[in-house]
Amino acid sequence: MRVSVFGLGYVGCVSAASFAGDGHDVVGVDVNADKVASINAGCSPIVEPGLEDLLGDCASQGRLRATTDTADAIRSTDVSLLCVGTPSRKNGSLDLQYLERVSEEVGRALRDKQDYHVVVVRSTVLPGTTHSVVIPALERESGKKYGDGFGVSVNPEFLREGTALKDFRKPPLTLVGHNHAADASGTIALYQSIDAPLVSTSIRVAEMMKYTSNTWHALKVVFANEIGNLCKKLDVDSHEVMDIFCRDEKLNLSPYYLKPGFAFGGSCLPKDVRALQYRAKEMDVELPLISQILPSNKAQIQQALDQVLETGKKQVGLLGFSFKAGTDDLRESPIVILAEALLGKGVSLKIYDKNVSMAKLVGANKDYIVKQIPHLSSLLCNTIAEVIDGSEVIVVGNQAPEFAQAVMDCRADQIVIDLVRLPIYGSLVKADYRGICW
């Protein structure tokens, strides 16, 4: 491939050198003439293990050169990677001035180019940025239409400084966001010798993925540190705890618990988070992250409540009452909390849960209903049809297998609010189908 790389900072230098090392013809572009001169002399403008040797080899073999001339770079290449900085402004918002400027410059250079050119956004940008900033700037300055004269894809970078070359060779995945197949193939061709699964998605998902990953990484660091601070006070070896914690790849380091949906509940999670927090308070250990877990969970219940109340309807049916399908445990079920809040707002409720029926309940769970929520027990129905027939809004609260068909059977004049993302296509549902956070 003939590829130009705009912005010769950490990402740009590593990308330019690595693609040149893979045999592609690379032209690096930067507004900083010193960086350009440095690369042309085979020297790295940044400190990164192994980069200077690779840059030197590629420059001397003629596979990598750098320039300040955008038009020259666009003329000589078919694909352009935008790797300019997207720093924070003082208020935390994203400063897109470099990205907008480089998009305008590339757009101007595209005006005189006949061949289809693919512009790849490699800088980290929030969802919507490619459509609201990059594509308009390219169209405005080139006089061409996106998808016609030029293409655009989003290809976030997952390298870590200090191990950037190794990360480039073996990233967790190669992510390409695009809206046109031709734009994807131009981008994917660059990665033929990279050992990583290729994930093709939309531009917006690719943009959001990068932020989701980085926020997750930041969260992991802070979580481990808070556990560590508490362990130290409790005279427990935090490293041993976290080593063992990381060996559980079923629940701890896995996709489990990572599906956007409703609040958690049940007899363990809320109780144990509270107890840990209380002990930390007793020991004067600050846990700013962990102490926000229960408030965040409560906010998700409020989110569901708001969504139901916003419909303005007064006849609501709840499918699922226990905190997860296949159990009759109602202790701290967020659906119970939601039901009580709805009743408090004057909504009339009907509830169905196969596992929670007064006739079948015994022991602790029957006791809980009778003593703690007797006013809700009278709202329990024996069949799904009883709930659906008389409701204007149906709220799905757990993943019981029978709920998918029930939702597909809902009438067109009903609203379904799904808190758990049932395994159905929303487009197959006749009712007005809404997800809590999708």
Ligand X SMILES: NC(=O)c1ccc[n+]([C@@H]2O[C@H](COP(=O)([O-])OP(=O)(O)OC[C@H]3O[C@@H](n4cnc5c(N)ncnc54)[C@H](O)[C@@H]3O)[C@@H](O)[C@H]2O)c1
Q: Which residue among 6, 264, 352, 368 contacts ligand X (CB under 6 A)? A: 6
Q: Is residue 157 near ligand X by the rule CB under 6 A?
A: yes
With binding defined as CB under 6 A, does residue 32 bind ligand X?
yes
CA of 404: how far to CAs of 1, 107, 173, 319, in Å? 48, 49, 33, 10
Query: Interface with ligand X by CB under 6 A: which range of 3-11, 20-28, 269-277, 396-404?
Result: 3-11
With binding defined as CB under 6 A, does residue 8 bind ligand X? yes
DSSP-assigned letters across all residues of 282-294: HTT---TTGGGHH
Residue of the chain from 1, 5, 7, 336 that contacts ligand X (CB under 6 A): 7
Supply the DSSP symbol for 7: -
- For ligand X, give the closer residue by CB, 9 or 266: 9
Residue 218, C-beta contacts closer than 8 angstroms, at least 6 positions apart: none
Position 127 contacts ligand X (CB under 6 A): no
Q: What are the structure tokens assigned to 284, written together?
A: 């004067």
The stretch near ligand X (CB under 6 A) out of 52-60, 82-90, 215-223, 319-327 is 82-90
The one-letter amino acid at 38:
S
Q: Provide the minimum distance between the beta carbon of 147 and ligand X in the complex, in angstroms, as a whole number.
A: 24
Whose CB is nearest to ligand X? 9
As measured in angstroms, the least distance from the Cβ of 189 to ligand X is 21
CB 299 within 8 A of CB 436: no
Binding residue for ligand X, selected from 1, 4, 5, 12, defined by CB under 6 A:
12
42-81: which residues touch ligand X (CB under 6 A)? none
Binding flag, residue 105, ligand X (CB under 6 A): yes
The per-residue DSSP string of 46-89 comes to S--TTHHHHHHHHHHTTSEEEES-HHHHHHT-SEEEE----PBP
> Which is nearer to ligand X, 30 or 328 (by Cβ)?
30
Q: Please, how many CA atoms are within 13 Å of residue 100, restricted to the half-sphere of its CB? A: 10
Which range binds ligand X by CB under 6 A, 156-164, 277-285, 293-301, 304-312? 156-164
Q: Quote the CA–CA distance of 60 and 3 in Å, as a whole number.
A: 18
Q: Cβ–Cβ contacts within 10 Å for residue 202, how many? A: 13
Query: Catalytic positions, please?
Result: 268
27 binds ligand X (CB under 6 A): no
Q: Does 85 bind ligand X (CB under 6 A)?
A: yes
Measure Cα distances from 246 to 251, 314, 323 in Å.
Answer: 10, 47, 26
Interface positions with ligand X (CB under 6 A): 6-12, 29-32, 35, 83-86, 98, 101-102, 105, 123-124, 157, 159, 161
